[in-house]
Chain A
Amino acid sequence: MNFVNLSLFENYQKYIDNEQEMRENIRVVVREIESLAKEATIQLQVIHCDLEKIDYACAGARKQISACADSYKKLAAIIPIGQYYKYSDHWTFITQRLVFIIAMVVYLEAGFLVTRETVAELLGLKTNQAEGFHLDIEDYLMGILQMASELSRFATNSVTMADYDRPLNISRFMADLHSGFRLLNLKNDGLRKRFDALKYDVKKIEEVVYDITIRGFRNAGVTNAAELPTST
Protein backbone atom coordinates (compact mmCIF):
# COMPACT_ATOMS: atom_id res chain seq x y z
CA MET A 1 0.00 0.00 0.00
CA ASN A 2 1.96 2.97 -1.26
CA PHE A 3 -0.68 5.65 -1.09
CA VAL A 4 1.29 7.76 1.34
CA ASN A 5 4.86 8.37 0.42
CA LEU A 6 6.93 9.31 3.43
CA SER A 7 9.31 11.33 1.29
CA LEU A 8 6.52 13.90 1.24
CA PHE A 9 7.27 14.63 4.86
CA GLU A 10 10.99 14.68 4.27
CA ASN A 11 10.49 17.29 1.57
CA TYR A 12 8.33 19.34 3.85
CA GLN A 13 10.92 19.11 6.62
CA LYS A 14 13.53 20.45 4.21
CA TYR A 15 11.22 23.27 3.25
CA ILE A 16 10.51 24.16 6.85
CA ASP A 17 14.18 24.00 7.80
CA ASN A 18 14.98 26.52 5.09
CA GLU A 19 12.24 28.75 6.36
CA GLN A 20 13.51 28.45 9.91
CA GLU A 21 16.98 29.44 8.85
CA MET A 22 15.61 32.41 6.96
CA ARG A 23 13.73 33.55 10.04
CA GLU A 24 16.86 33.36 12.13
CA ASN A 25 18.76 35.51 9.64
CA ILE A 26 15.92 38.01 9.64
CA ARG A 27 15.84 38.13 13.40
CA VAL A 28 19.53 39.07 13.57
CA VAL A 29 19.04 42.05 11.28
CA VAL A 30 15.80 43.10 12.94
CA ARG A 31 17.50 43.08 16.32
CA GLU A 32 20.12 45.39 14.89
CA ILE A 33 17.45 47.82 13.74
CA GLU A 34 15.70 47.56 17.07
CA SER A 35 18.74 48.66 19.04
CA LEU A 36 19.35 51.60 16.67
CA ALA A 37 15.72 52.67 16.99
CA LYS A 38 15.88 52.40 20.76
CA GLU A 39 18.84 54.77 20.76
CA ALA A 40 16.88 57.28 18.71
CA THR A 41 13.84 56.97 20.99
CA ILE A 42 15.97 57.70 24.03
CA GLN A 43 17.49 60.75 22.38
CA LEU A 44 14.07 62.10 21.50
CA GLN A 45 12.88 61.84 25.09
CA VAL A 46 14.90 64.93 25.91
CA ILE A 47 12.27 67.12 24.24
CA HIS A 48 9.98 66.56 27.20
CA CYS A 49 12.37 68.23 29.63
CA ASP A 50 14.54 70.62 27.64
CA LEU A 51 13.25 72.58 24.68
CA GLU A 52 16.70 73.94 23.88
CA LYS A 53 17.98 70.52 22.98
CA ILE A 54 15.35 69.70 20.37
CA ASP A 55 17.58 70.44 17.39
CA TYR A 56 20.38 68.43 18.89
CA ALA A 57 18.07 65.49 19.57
CA CYS A 58 16.71 65.58 16.03
CA ALA A 59 20.19 65.53 14.58
CA GLY A 60 21.05 62.56 16.76
CA ALA A 61 17.91 60.71 15.78
CA ARG A 62 18.57 61.34 12.11
CA LYS A 63 21.95 59.73 12.45
CA GLN A 64 20.32 56.60 13.87
CA ILE A 65 17.72 56.63 11.12
CA SER A 66 20.31 56.61 8.37
CA ALA A 67 22.06 53.75 10.17
CA CYS A 68 18.72 51.92 10.11
CA ALA A 69 18.51 52.46 6.37
CA ASP A 70 21.70 50.43 5.97
CA SER A 71 20.23 47.60 8.02
CA TYR A 72 17.05 47.69 5.96
CA LYS A 73 19.17 47.25 2.88
CA LYS A 74 20.57 44.09 4.42
CA LEU A 75 17.08 42.91 5.29
CA ALA A 76 15.84 43.59 1.77
CA ALA A 77 18.67 41.47 0.40
CA ILE A 78 17.63 38.49 2.52
CA ILE A 79 13.94 38.44 1.66
CA PRO A 80 13.13 36.65 -1.60
CA ILE A 81 10.92 38.49 -4.05
CA GLY A 82 7.23 38.05 -3.36
CA GLN A 83 7.67 36.79 0.19
CA TYR A 84 7.55 40.12 2.00
CA TYR A 85 4.32 39.29 3.79
CA LYS A 86 5.43 35.81 4.68
CA TYR A 87 7.99 37.19 7.08
CA SER A 88 6.72 40.72 7.63
CA ASP A 89 5.57 40.02 11.18
CA HIS A 90 9.22 40.15 12.22
CA TRP A 91 9.65 43.78 11.29
CA THR A 92 6.24 45.44 11.27
CA PHE A 93 6.54 46.50 14.89
CA ILE A 94 9.95 48.06 14.51
CA THR A 95 9.03 49.71 11.22
CA GLN A 96 6.06 51.38 12.91
CA ARG A 97 8.40 52.59 15.63
CA LEU A 98 10.72 54.08 13.05
CA VAL A 99 7.88 55.78 11.21
CA PHE A 100 6.97 57.29 14.56
CA ILE A 101 10.53 58.50 15.15
CA ILE A 102 10.85 59.98 11.68
CA ALA A 103 7.46 61.67 11.86
CA MET A 104 8.42 63.13 15.23
CA VAL A 105 11.75 64.43 13.95
CA VAL A 106 10.20 65.98 10.85
CA TYR A 107 7.47 67.62 12.88
CA LEU A 108 9.94 69.03 15.40
CA GLU A 109 12.18 70.36 12.66
CA ALA A 110 9.69 71.67 10.18
CA GLY A 111 6.20 71.42 11.66
CA PHE A 112 4.49 69.33 9.01
CA LEU A 113 3.39 65.74 8.58
CA VAL A 114 5.94 63.56 6.89
CA THR A 115 4.62 61.76 3.82
CA ARG A 116 4.90 58.07 3.27
CA GLU A 117 7.26 58.69 0.36
CA THR A 118 9.67 60.65 2.55
CA VAL A 119 9.68 58.01 5.28
CA ALA A 120 10.36 55.34 2.70
CA GLU A 121 13.16 57.39 1.22
CA LEU A 122 14.80 57.98 4.60
CA LEU A 123 14.71 54.27 5.37
CA GLY A 124 15.80 53.29 1.89
CA LEU A 125 12.54 51.51 1.12
CA LYS A 126 10.14 51.61 -1.80
CA THR A 127 6.56 52.76 -1.59
CA ASN A 128 5.25 50.46 -4.27
CA GLN A 129 5.03 46.78 -3.48
CA ALA A 130 5.97 45.81 -7.02
CA GLU A 131 9.32 47.57 -6.81
CA GLY A 132 10.66 45.46 -3.98
CA PHE A 133 11.03 45.76 -0.25
CA HIS A 134 8.53 48.43 0.64
CA LEU A 135 6.96 50.41 3.44
CA ASP A 136 3.54 48.96 4.08
CA ILE A 137 0.82 51.57 4.22
CA GLU A 138 -0.64 50.25 7.44
CA ASP A 139 2.73 50.40 9.13
CA TYR A 140 3.05 54.01 8.06
CA LEU A 141 -0.37 54.92 9.43
CA MET A 142 0.27 53.09 12.70
CA GLY A 143 3.51 55.00 13.16
CA ILE A 144 1.72 58.29 12.54
CA LEU A 145 -0.85 57.41 15.17
CA GLN A 146 1.91 56.68 17.66
CA MET A 147 3.29 60.12 16.95
CA ALA A 148 -0.08 61.66 17.78
CA SER A 149 -0.04 60.35 21.34
CA GLU A 150 3.55 61.42 21.77
CA LEU A 151 2.61 64.92 20.61
CA SER A 152 -0.18 65.18 23.13
CA ARG A 153 2.34 64.38 25.83
CA PHE A 154 4.72 66.90 24.32
CA ALA A 155 2.01 69.58 24.39
CA THR A 156 1.49 69.14 28.13
CA ASN A 157 5.18 69.24 28.82
CA SER A 158 5.80 72.31 26.72
CA VAL A 159 3.23 74.14 28.83
CA THR A 160 5.17 73.06 31.89
CA MET A 161 8.26 74.51 30.25
CA ALA A 162 6.39 77.76 29.62
CA ASP A 163 6.17 77.45 25.84
CA TYR A 164 2.56 78.45 25.27
CA ASP A 165 2.55 78.68 21.48
CA ARG A 166 3.59 75.15 20.84
CA PRO A 167 0.38 73.52 22.08
CA LEU A 168 -1.57 75.68 19.66
CA ASN A 169 0.49 74.55 16.73
CA ILE A 170 0.22 70.97 17.83
CA SER A 171 -3.52 71.30 18.23
CA ARG A 172 -3.91 72.62 14.72
CA PHE A 173 -1.67 69.88 13.37
CA MET A 174 -3.61 67.20 15.18
CA ALA A 175 -6.90 68.53 13.89
CA ASP A 176 -5.57 68.13 10.36
CA LEU A 177 -4.35 64.67 11.14
CA HIS A 178 -7.66 63.69 12.64
CA SER A 179 -9.64 64.85 9.65
CA GLY A 180 -7.13 63.06 7.44
CA PHE A 181 -7.76 59.79 9.20
CA ARG A 182 -11.47 60.30 8.97
CA LEU A 183 -11.13 60.12 5.20
CA LEU A 184 -10.06 56.50 5.48
CA ASN A 185 -12.44 53.57 5.50
CA LEU A 186 -10.87 51.51 8.21
CA LYS A 187 -11.72 47.90 8.68
CA ASN A 188 -12.31 46.60 12.15
CA ASP A 189 -8.68 45.77 12.79
CA GLY A 190 -5.68 46.98 14.75
CA LEU A 191 -5.46 50.20 12.80
CA ARG A 192 -9.06 51.00 13.60
CA LYS A 193 -8.53 50.44 17.30
CA ARG A 194 -5.47 52.63 17.28
CA PHE A 195 -7.38 55.32 15.39
CA ASP A 196 -10.12 55.29 18.01
CA ALA A 197 -7.49 56.33 20.54
CA LEU A 198 -6.61 59.37 18.42
CA LYS A 199 -9.68 61.28 19.52
CA TYR A 200 -8.52 61.12 23.12
CA ASP A 201 -5.17 62.57 22.10
CA VAL A 202 -6.95 65.35 20.22
CA LYS A 203 -9.21 65.98 23.18
CA LYS A 204 -6.29 66.18 25.55
CA ILE A 205 -4.54 68.79 23.45
CA GLU A 206 -7.70 70.82 23.09
CA GLU A 207 -8.00 70.88 26.85
CA VAL A 208 -4.43 72.06 27.15
CA VAL A 209 -5.15 74.84 24.66
CA TYR A 210 -8.28 75.73 26.57
CA ASP A 211 -6.40 75.87 29.86
CA ILE A 212 -3.74 78.22 28.62
CA THR A 213 -6.20 80.39 26.73
CA ILE A 214 -8.63 80.87 29.58
CA ARG A 215 -5.80 81.95 31.84
CA GLY A 216 -4.51 84.41 29.27
CA PHE A 217 -1.07 82.83 29.24
CA ARG A 218 -0.63 83.42 25.60
CA ASN A 219 -1.93 86.92 25.12
CA ALA A 220 1.02 87.85 23.01
CA GLY A 221 0.64 84.71 20.98
CA VAL A 222 -2.77 85.50 19.53
CA THR A 223 -1.49 87.63 16.69
CA ASN A 224 1.31 85.20 16.08
CA ALA A 225 -1.00 82.25 15.86
CA ALA A 226 -3.27 84.04 13.44
CA GLU A 227 -0.41 84.31 10.99
CA LEU A 228 0.81 80.80 11.40
CA PRO A 229 -1.68 78.74 9.36
CA THR A 230 0.05 79.67 6.12
CA SER A 231 3.19 77.96 7.31
CA THR A 232 1.60 74.63 8.14
Chain B
Amino acid sequence: MPENSGRYQQHNRRNQKKECPVIDENNVVLKSFQSYGLELDAKHDRNERIVKLSRDITIESKRIIFLLHSIDIRKNNKEKVLQEAQTRLEKVISTNFKAVAEELCGHDPYQFRWAYSPGLQEFIEAYTFMEYIKNAEYDESCSGGSDAEMSDWTELQKKMTYSKKSEDNEEEFSFFIDPTEYILGVSDLTGELMRRCIISLGSGEIVFCLIAKMILQKIFTGYIGLNVHRCRELSRKIFTMRQSVLKAENVCYNVKVRGCEAAKWKDIFDNKPGDDIDEGF
Protein backbone atom coordinates (compact mmCIF):
# COMPACT_ATOMS: atom_id res chain seq x y z
CA MET B 1 0.00 0.00 0.00
CA PRO B 2 1.34 3.36 -0.94
CA GLU B 3 0.14 4.92 2.28
CA ASN B 4 1.97 2.39 4.36
CA SER B 5 5.28 2.62 2.59
CA GLY B 6 5.04 6.37 2.59
CA ARG B 7 4.47 6.48 6.27
CA TYR B 8 7.30 4.09 6.90
CA GLN B 9 9.73 6.17 4.90
CA GLN B 10 8.55 9.32 6.55
CA HIS B 11 8.91 7.81 9.99
CA ASN B 12 12.41 6.67 9.24
CA ARG B 13 13.42 9.94 7.76
CA ARG B 14 12.20 11.87 10.72
CA ASN B 15 14.09 9.73 13.10
CA GLN B 16 17.26 10.32 11.21
CA LYS B 17 16.56 14.00 11.13
CA LYS B 18 16.42 14.14 14.86
CA GLU B 19 19.71 12.39 15.34
CA CYS B 20 21.37 14.13 12.48
CA PRO B 21 22.00 17.68 13.76
CA VAL B 22 23.94 16.52 16.79
CA ILE B 23 26.49 14.78 14.62
CA ASP B 24 26.46 17.04 11.62
CA GLU B 25 29.19 19.62 12.05
CA ASN B 26 28.32 21.32 8.79
CA ASN B 27 24.90 22.34 9.94
CA VAL B 28 24.84 26.11 9.72
CA VAL B 29 22.21 26.57 12.39
CA LEU B 30 24.09 24.50 14.93
CA LYS B 31 27.34 26.18 14.11
CA SER B 32 25.96 29.63 14.75
CA PHE B 33 24.26 28.43 17.92
CA GLN B 34 27.56 27.11 19.14
CA SER B 35 29.04 30.59 18.92
CA TYR B 36 25.95 32.10 20.57
CA GLY B 37 26.38 29.57 23.34
CA LEU B 38 29.96 30.62 23.92
CA GLU B 39 28.97 34.26 24.11
CA LEU B 40 26.14 33.58 26.53
CA ASP B 41 28.36 31.43 28.73
CA ALA B 42 31.02 34.12 28.88
CA LYS B 43 28.41 36.63 29.96
CA HIS B 44 26.91 34.37 32.62
CA ASP B 45 30.33 33.47 33.98
CA ARG B 46 31.32 37.09 34.32
CA ASN B 47 28.02 37.86 35.99
CA GLU B 48 28.53 34.99 38.42
CA ARG B 49 32.05 36.11 39.32
CA ILE B 50 30.85 39.65 39.99
CA VAL B 51 28.01 38.36 42.16
CA LYS B 52 30.54 36.47 44.27
CA LEU B 53 32.76 39.51 44.66
CA SER B 54 29.76 41.62 45.52
CA ARG B 55 28.68 39.17 48.19
CA ASP B 56 32.10 39.38 49.84
CA ILE B 57 31.89 43.16 49.80
CA THR B 58 28.44 43.01 51.41
CA ILE B 59 29.60 40.73 54.20
CA GLU B 60 32.70 42.76 54.99
CA SER B 61 30.75 46.03 54.92
CA LYS B 62 28.13 44.67 57.30
CA ARG B 63 30.90 43.59 59.68
CA ILE B 64 32.50 47.01 59.54
CA ILE B 65 29.16 48.64 60.36
CA PHE B 66 28.75 46.27 63.29
CA LEU B 67 32.24 47.13 64.43
CA LEU B 68 31.50 50.86 64.26
CA HIS B 69 28.42 50.39 66.40
CA SER B 70 30.62 48.98 69.15
CA ILE B 71 32.11 52.41 69.75
CA ASP B 72 31.21 53.30 73.30
CA ILE B 73 32.34 56.19 75.45
CA ARG B 74 32.52 53.92 78.47
CA LYS B 75 35.07 51.70 76.77
CA ASN B 76 36.95 54.65 75.36
CA ASN B 77 37.66 52.74 72.17
CA LYS B 78 36.65 55.26 69.53
CA GLU B 79 40.15 55.91 68.24
CA LYS B 80 41.05 52.26 67.92
CA VAL B 81 37.82 51.07 66.32
CA LEU B 82 37.74 53.95 63.88
CA GLN B 83 41.28 53.18 62.85
CA GLU B 84 40.47 49.54 62.26
CA ALA B 85 37.29 50.32 60.33
CA GLN B 86 39.15 52.71 58.12
CA THR B 87 41.88 50.25 57.24
CA ARG B 88 39.35 47.55 56.51
CA LEU B 89 37.37 49.86 54.24
CA GLU B 90 40.56 50.84 52.41
CA LYS B 91 41.26 47.17 51.96
CA VAL B 92 37.83 46.57 50.43
CA ILE B 93 38.54 49.38 47.98
CA SER B 94 41.99 48.18 47.09
CA THR B 95 41.16 44.49 46.67
CA ASN B 96 37.48 43.67 46.22
CA PHE B 97 36.43 46.68 44.21
CA LYS B 98 39.57 46.45 42.17
CA ALA B 99 38.59 42.91 41.21
CA VAL B 100 35.12 44.04 40.18
CA ALA B 101 36.59 46.91 38.19
CA GLU B 102 38.88 44.46 36.44
CA GLU B 103 35.93 42.28 35.52
CA LEU B 104 34.06 45.28 34.18
CA CYS B 105 37.02 46.66 32.24
CA GLY B 106 35.88 47.20 28.67
CA HIS B 107 32.29 46.30 29.48
CA ASP B 108 29.17 48.30 30.01
CA PRO B 109 28.94 48.67 33.80
CA TYR B 110 25.17 48.90 33.57
CA GLN B 111 24.98 45.45 32.02
CA PHE B 112 26.15 43.86 35.28
CA ARG B 113 24.58 46.39 37.55
CA TRP B 114 22.34 43.89 39.30
CA ALA B 115 25.34 41.74 40.08
CA TYR B 116 27.35 44.34 41.97
CA SER B 117 24.75 46.81 43.21
CA PRO B 118 23.99 45.15 46.61
CA GLY B 119 27.68 45.13 47.53
CA LEU B 120 28.20 48.67 46.37
CA GLN B 121 25.25 50.03 48.33
CA GLU B 122 26.32 48.24 51.49
CA PHE B 123 29.83 49.56 51.05
CA ILE B 124 28.61 53.14 50.59
CA GLU B 125 26.57 52.73 53.75
CA ALA B 126 29.60 51.53 55.71
CA TYR B 127 31.91 54.16 54.29
CA THR B 128 29.64 57.13 54.97
CA PHE B 129 28.86 55.78 58.43
CA MET B 130 32.57 55.66 59.18
CA GLU B 131 32.84 59.25 57.99
CA TYR B 132 29.92 60.23 60.15
CA ILE B 133 31.55 58.82 63.29
CA LYS B 134 34.85 60.36 62.36
CA ASN B 135 33.66 63.82 61.39
CA ALA B 136 30.32 64.54 62.95
CA GLU B 137 30.58 63.15 66.45
CA TYR B 138 32.47 65.67 68.52
CA ASP B 139 33.86 64.47 71.73
CA GLU B 140 36.06 66.38 74.16
CA SER B 141 37.91 63.31 75.39
CA CYS B 142 38.89 62.16 71.92
CA SER B 143 40.53 63.99 69.14
CA GLY B 144 38.96 63.68 65.74
CA GLY B 145 35.74 65.28 64.75
CA SER B 146 36.02 67.95 62.17
CA ASP B 147 33.86 69.91 59.83
CA ALA B 148 34.59 67.61 56.92
CA GLU B 149 31.64 66.70 54.75
CA MET B 150 30.42 63.33 53.69
CA SER B 151 32.08 62.15 50.47
CA ASP B 152 29.90 62.23 47.42
CA TRP B 153 30.04 59.81 44.53
CA THR B 154 32.76 61.65 42.65
CA GLU B 155 35.07 61.53 45.66
CA LEU B 156 34.40 57.85 46.20
CA GLN B 157 34.98 57.19 42.56
CA LYS B 158 38.33 58.94 42.79
CA LYS B 159 39.31 56.53 45.54
CA MET B 160 38.38 53.62 43.30
CA THR B 161 40.71 54.51 40.49
CA TYR B 162 43.39 51.94 39.96
CA SER B 163 46.29 51.60 37.65
CA LYS B 164 47.17 48.49 35.78
CA LYS B 165 50.71 47.77 34.74
CA SER B 166 50.96 46.21 31.34
CA GLU B 167 54.23 45.52 29.59
CA ASP B 168 54.96 48.93 28.21
CA ASN B 169 52.63 51.41 29.82
CA GLU B 170 50.50 52.03 32.85
CA GLU B 171 46.79 52.05 32.28
CA GLU B 172 44.23 53.66 34.51
CA PHE B 173 40.86 52.15 35.14
CA SER B 174 38.24 52.82 37.74
CA PHE B 175 35.15 51.42 39.30
CA PHE B 176 32.17 53.33 38.04
CA ILE B 177 29.74 54.54 40.70
CA ASP B 178 26.31 55.38 39.41
CA PRO B 179 24.94 58.36 41.38
CA THR B 180 21.67 56.49 41.87
CA GLU B 181 23.51 53.65 43.61
CA TYR B 182 25.17 56.22 45.83
CA ILE B 183 21.87 57.83 46.74
CA LEU B 184 20.38 54.44 47.55
CA GLY B 185 23.42 53.57 49.66
CA VAL B 186 23.19 56.79 51.65
CA SER B 187 19.52 56.19 52.33
CA ASP B 188 20.57 53.00 54.12
CA LEU B 189 22.91 55.10 56.23
CA THR B 190 19.91 56.69 57.93
CA GLY B 191 18.99 53.34 59.46
CA GLU B 192 22.44 53.15 61.02
CA LEU B 193 22.18 56.73 62.29
CA MET B 194 18.89 55.85 63.97
CA ARG B 195 20.53 52.88 65.66
CA ARG B 196 23.47 55.02 66.65
CA CYS B 197 21.08 57.54 68.15
CA ILE B 198 19.43 54.86 70.30
CA ILE B 199 22.72 53.21 71.28
CA SER B 200 24.09 56.60 72.34
CA LEU B 201 21.10 57.05 74.57
CA GLY B 202 21.91 53.75 76.22
CA SER B 203 25.45 54.78 76.95
CA GLY B 204 24.37 58.22 78.08
CA GLU B 205 25.98 60.23 75.29
CA ILE B 206 23.14 62.65 74.90
CA VAL B 207 25.13 64.94 72.59
CA PHE B 208 25.44 62.15 70.07
CA CYS B 209 21.70 61.53 70.11
CA LEU B 210 21.11 65.13 69.19
CA ILE B 211 23.79 65.09 66.51
CA ALA B 212 22.44 61.92 64.95
CA LYS B 213 18.94 63.32 64.96
CA MET B 214 20.06 66.53 63.34
CA ILE B 215 21.99 64.75 60.58
CA LEU B 216 19.02 62.47 60.00
CA GLN B 217 16.69 65.40 59.62
CA LYS B 218 19.08 67.06 57.22
CA ILE B 219 19.41 63.97 55.06
CA PHE B 220 15.67 63.44 55.12
CA THR B 221 15.11 67.01 53.96
CA GLY B 222 17.48 66.37 51.08
CA TYR B 223 15.67 63.21 50.08
CA ILE B 224 12.14 64.53 50.15
CA GLY B 225 13.35 67.42 48.00
CA LEU B 226 14.30 64.98 45.25
CA ASN B 227 11.99 64.74 42.32
CA VAL B 228 12.54 61.24 41.00
CA HIS B 229 10.17 59.21 38.92
CA ARG B 230 10.68 55.62 37.88
CA CYS B 231 12.60 54.58 40.98
CA ARG B 232 10.28 52.62 43.21
CA GLU B 233 13.21 51.43 45.29
CA LEU B 234 13.97 55.00 46.32
CA SER B 235 10.45 55.91 47.37
CA ARG B 236 10.33 52.77 49.49
CA LYS B 237 13.56 53.77 51.15
CA ILE B 238 12.33 57.29 51.78
CA PHE B 239 9.31 55.82 53.54
CA THR B 240 11.58 53.76 55.81
CA MET B 241 13.77 56.80 56.33
CA ARG B 242 10.81 58.76 57.62
CA GLN B 243 10.22 56.12 60.25
CA SER B 244 13.87 56.27 61.31
CA VAL B 245 13.66 60.04 61.59
CA LEU B 246 10.53 59.77 63.73
CA LYS B 247 12.22 57.29 66.05
CA ALA B 248 15.26 59.49 66.47
CA GLU B 249 13.12 62.55 67.07
CA ASN B 250 11.18 60.65 69.65
CA VAL B 251 14.38 59.74 71.46
CA CYS B 252 15.43 63.35 71.57
CA TYR B 253 11.98 64.38 72.75
CA ASN B 254 12.15 61.92 75.61
CA VAL B 255 15.58 63.16 76.55
CA LYS B 256 14.31 66.70 76.79
CA VAL B 257 11.16 65.87 78.68
CA ARG B 258 12.46 63.42 81.25
CA GLY B 259 16.15 63.93 81.36
CA CYS B 260 18.49 61.25 80.16
CA GLU B 261 18.13 58.78 83.05
CA ALA B 262 14.41 58.39 82.71
CA ALA B 263 14.52 58.06 78.94
CA LYS B 264 16.75 55.06 79.19
CA TRP B 265 14.11 53.10 81.03
CA LYS B 266 11.14 54.11 79.03
CA ASP B 267 10.09 52.29 75.92
CA ILE B 268 11.44 54.80 73.48
CA PHE B 269 10.95 52.62 70.46
CA ASP B 270 7.24 53.10 70.21
CA ASN B 271 6.06 55.84 67.98
CA LYS B 272 3.31 57.14 70.17
CA PRO B 273 4.63 60.19 71.97
CA GLY B 274 1.08 61.10 73.02
CA ASP B 275 0.78 58.15 75.43
CA ASP B 276 1.70 58.65 79.09
CA ILE B 277 4.31 61.35 78.65
CA ASP B 278 3.61 63.07 81.91
CA GLU B 279 4.33 59.93 83.87
CA GLY B 280 7.76 61.21 84.85
CA PHE B 281 6.48 64.40 86.40
Contacts and interface: CB of A to CB of B under 8 A. Distances in A.
Say whether A and B bind each other: yes
Interface of A: 1-6, 8-9, 11-13, 15-16, 20, 23, 82-86, 112-113, 115-116, 129-130, 137-138, 140-141, 171-172, 175-177, 179-181, 183-187, 209, 213-214, 216, 219, 222, 225-226, 229
B6 A1 contact: no
Contacts of B227: 13, 16
A83 B183 CA distance: 19
Would you call the interface of chain A mostly helix, strand, loop, or mixed? helix
B115 to A, nearest CB: 12
Contacts of A186: 40
A181 B13 CA distance: 22
Counting contact residues on chain B (CB < 8 A from A), the size range is 35 or more
Contact of A184 (B3, B33, B110, B180): B33
Contacts of A180: 21, 29-30, 32-33
B168 interface: no
Given A1-B211, A180-B29, A16 B226 contact: yes
A59 B32 CA distance: 26
A137 B7 contact: no
A143 B183 CA distance: 36
B205 to A, nearest CB: 16
A184 B13 contact: no
A85 B111 contact: yes
B83 interface: no
B164 interface: no
Given A137-B36, A179-B30, A180-B33, A5 B13 contact: no
A184 B36 contact: yes
A130 B107 CA distance: 8
Interface centre among A6, A16, A225 (most CB of B within 10 A): A16
Nearest to B229: A20
A216 B44 contact: no
B180 to A, nearest CB: 8
B233 interface: no
B229 A177 contact: no
A137 B36 CA distance: 7
7 contacts: A3-B131, A5-B149, A113-B28, A137-B40, A140-B36, A187-B44, A213-B10
Nearest to A173: B29
Contacts of A184: 33, 36-37, 40
Given A84-B108, A183-B30, A216-B3, A13 B150 contact: no
B228 A16 contact: yes
A219 B34 CA distance: 37
A3 B6 contact: no
Given A183-B37, A222-B9, A175 B17 contact: yes
Contacts of B111: 84-85
Nearest to B182: A12
A112 B31 CA distance: 13
A85 B109 CA distance: 8
Contacts of A82: 108-110
